[in-house]
């Protein structure tokens, strides 16, 4: 992977790729998704913006999420440090969530780090981060690209009508293309990084 940008972003991308690869097991579908996302990745320089990065109400939980991760140490702690350094440059969104419900508008936010709408432009890959307040559910949804999550907090995921399950901090969730999936936070905020190859169109 070639990453020609400032140090925190390069460290973040390298740690993210390594941590997902080391934690996802030997499932061929996950391995293929990882190759499509991280294989031979060459990223452009971050976009310069004259506007201040935007924040959303759910960003009030970021400090606690970063603190919990940094206490863990190891590569997840290093990943948290790199992401914390990048975060002041990111714009957080919840536009589609405002259309879904006022509860999500107040309690959910995400930011595109890499991708067509990302801090770092890419037409091939989308990588972003989500934060969600305690006791909040992100409802069933689906999208054409497959998806890999690196889970950075407590929280539960579900596919189709299957039972909810908790991957745990450092767990990897794989959502095949077009599968119905959801996530929910329990007593603590949910914090996760998601990665999608864009062969089948962007995430929405």
Per-residue pLDDT of the chain (204 residues; tens, 9 = 90+): 333 346 788 899 999 999 999 999 999 999 999 999 998 766 666 665 556 789 999 999 999 999 999 999 999 999 999 999 999 999 999 877 777 788 899 999 999 999 998 899 999 999 999 999 999 999 999 999 999 999 999 999 999 999 999 999 999 999 999 999 999 999 999 999 999 999 754 454
Residue 121 falls inside a structural domain: yes
Rounded-to-integer distance, Cα 83 and Cα 77, Å: 10
**pLDDT of amino acid 1:** 38
Residue 192's contacts (CB-CB under 8 Å, 6 or more residues apart) are 129, 130, 149, 150, 151, 152, 153, 155, 183
Q: Note down the domain range covering 23.
A: 7-44+54-197
Give the CA distances from residue 53 to residues 48, 71, 153, 179, 188, in Å, rounded to whole numbers and listed in that order.
Answer: 11, 27, 24, 32, 25
Residue 149: CATH number of its domain: 2.60.120.10
Q: Is 175 exposed, middle or buried (0-12, 13-18, 19+ CB in 10 A)?
A: buried
Query: Whole-prediction pTM value?
Result: 0.90
**pLDDT of amino acid 3:** 39
- The dihedral region occupied by 31, where left means phi > 0, alpha psi between -120 and 50, and beta the remainder, is alpha
For residue 170, the 8-state DSSP code is T
Residue 49 falls inside a structural domain: no
**Helix or strand (DSSP H, E) at 195:** strand 190-197
Residue 114 falls inside a structural domain: yes
Domain count, the chain: 1
Residue 202 falls inside a structural domain: no
**pLDDT of amino acid 45:** 65
Residue 192 falls inside a structural domain: yes
Rounded-to-integer distance, Cα 51 and Cα 65, Å: 26
Share of the chain above pLDDT 70, in %: 88
Rounded-to-integer distance, Cα 185 and Cα 119, Å: 26
């Amino acid at each position: 992977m070639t990453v020609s940008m400032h140090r925190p972003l390069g460290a973040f991308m390298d740690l993210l790729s390594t941590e997902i690869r080391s934690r996802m097991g030997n499932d061929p579908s996950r391995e293929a998704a990882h190759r499509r996302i991280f294989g031979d990745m060459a990223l452009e320089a971050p976009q310069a913006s004259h506007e201040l990065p935007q924040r959303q109400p759910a960003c009030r939980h970021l400090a606690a999420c970063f603190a919990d991760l940094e206490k863990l140490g190891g590569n997840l702690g290093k990943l948290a440090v790199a992401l914390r350094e990048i975060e002041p440059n990111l714009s957080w969104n919840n536009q589609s969530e405002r259309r879904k419900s006022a509860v999500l508008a107040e309690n959910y936010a995400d930011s595109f780090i890499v991708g067509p709408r990302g801090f770092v432009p890419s037409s091939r890959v989308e990588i972003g981060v989500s934060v969600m307040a305690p006791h909040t559910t992100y409802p069933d949804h689906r999208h054409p690209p497959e998806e890999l999550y690196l889970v950075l907090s407590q929280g539960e995921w579900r596919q189709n009508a299957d039972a909810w399950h908790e991957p745990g901090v450092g767990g990897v969730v794989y959502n095949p293309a077009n599968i119905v999936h959801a996530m929910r936070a329990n007593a603590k905020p949910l914090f996760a990084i998601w990665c999608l190859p864009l062969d089948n169109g962007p995430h929405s």
